[in-house]
Amino acid sequence: MTNDALLRALERQPTDYTPVWLMRQAGRYLPEYRATRERAGSFLALAKSPALAAEVTLQPLERFALDAAILFSDILTVPDAMGLGLHFADGEGPRFARPLRDEAAIRALAAPDPADQLRYVIDAVREIRKALAGRVPLIGFAGSPFTLACYMVEGAGSDDWRALKTMLYARPDLLHRILEVNTRAVTDYLNAQIDAGAQVVMLFDTWGGQLSHAGYEEFSLAYSRRILSGLRRESGGRKVPSILFTKGGGAWLEAMAASGCTAVGLDWTVDPAAARARVGTRVALQGNLDPAALFAPPDAVRREVRRVLDAFGPAPGHVFNLGHGISQHTPVESVAALVDEVRTYSRRLRGAARSNP
């Protein structure tokens, strides 16, 4: 591989600079992405075409010196493959035609076979690996069982997750049944991505931060832990690192670090120095610039990037990223400034640390 800085940083090995990639880096803020999506006709048609998914996955790498590619897909492909009927209304978020609201539907739920109902994703992974030709590693991903359950029960995004929470408090047995199926499904799905060529996998627990302290362990982390312990550890003779990200999960970093993942993703509310003190050298850390910092002019972006790099310090085991997915309203020049500043400033920071150890 030409550039393995990400893999080395995730294993907490030294690198000359801090590797960087951005959650949702292949996305609507890029005009070339919008053009491909236009051609595809819809977001789902784009995600379901391995050739087009590969095309957009590589787009940000043509513009910016990023250290990883991430599979272009959506976390909701899994419940869609379970038959819930995913669609995207124009200008709105995802919706399911058949959300899980009654016991019979929940009892009938089964994990899909990734080689069958999710074959388009697995084919995309293969195409992307071929197109990357070893430039940078490819990250595969899935939603956490809890985050998938949020959408599956609610039927769409929500600001209070009322249907989901009602089930959680009134019929926790039903929610646990959904989480069991999701755990099997996500384990199989991520392993199929690894078999097809994904070199890193990331588990997105976007809504775990909506849970209470006790609820996070019971309804989210317990299942993520089972997935992490069921993942293939190696592929092509190299370890496959895993990243666990819980938005709003700052209170639970120790537990996340002990879950079996290689790295913990931090959202932008977390103090990187305090996070490192809490998790020790058990895991690498990924993050955590506020995505909204990219709405500022390039000079301010560079200042905020330096602030994040200083907070993580020059020790190995940091992967630079945003604290959440990049906004569609982000100016492209902000991303260019971010990537350049991470590279140049972190190289200087690490050089200085080496000469004054």
Residues that bind its own copies (CB under 8 A): 159-162, 165-166, 168-170, 209-216, 248, 250-251, 268-271, 274, 290-293, 295-297, 300-301, 304, 307, 323, 327, 329
Q: Give the strand pairing for 238-239 and 234-235.
A: antiparallel
- 345 is known as an active-site residue: no
Smaller CB separation from its own copies, 13 or 166: 166
Indicate which residue of 8, 24, 95, 350 is catalytic. 24
Indicate which residue of 8, 37, 226, 343 is catalytic. 37
- 302 is known as an active-site residue: no
Smaller CB separation from its own copies, 107 or 213: 213
What does 93-136 look like in DSSP terms, one character per residue?
-EEESS---SHHHHHH-----TTTTTHHHHHHHHHHHHHHTTSS
CA torsion, ordered 141, 146, 147, 150, to nearest 10 deg = 150
Indicate which residue of 17, 29, 33, 151 is catalytic. 151
Which two tokens mark 70? 């991430």
Per DSSP, the three-state class of 83 is helix
CB atoms within 10 A of CB 238: 13
CA angle 282, 284, 287 (to 5 degrees): 140
- 28 is known as an active-site residue: yes
Q: What is the spatial distance between Cα 189 and Cα 194, in angstroms, rounded to a whole number?
A: 9
Shortest separation between residue 344's beta carbon and its own copies, angstroms: 20
Which two tokens mark 238? 């190299």
Smaller CB separation from its own copies, 85 or 297: 297
Shortest separation between residue 209's beta carbon and its own copies, angstroms: 6
Shortest separation between residue 347's beta carbon and its own copies, angstroms: 23
Indicate which residue of 74, 80, 205, 267 is catalytic. 74
Smaller CB separation from its own copies, 64 or 216: 216
In sequence order, the β-bridge partners of residue 142 are 203
Shortest separation between residue 105's beta carbon and its own copies, angstroms: 20
Instruction: Return the active site residues.
Output: 24, 28, 37, 74, 151
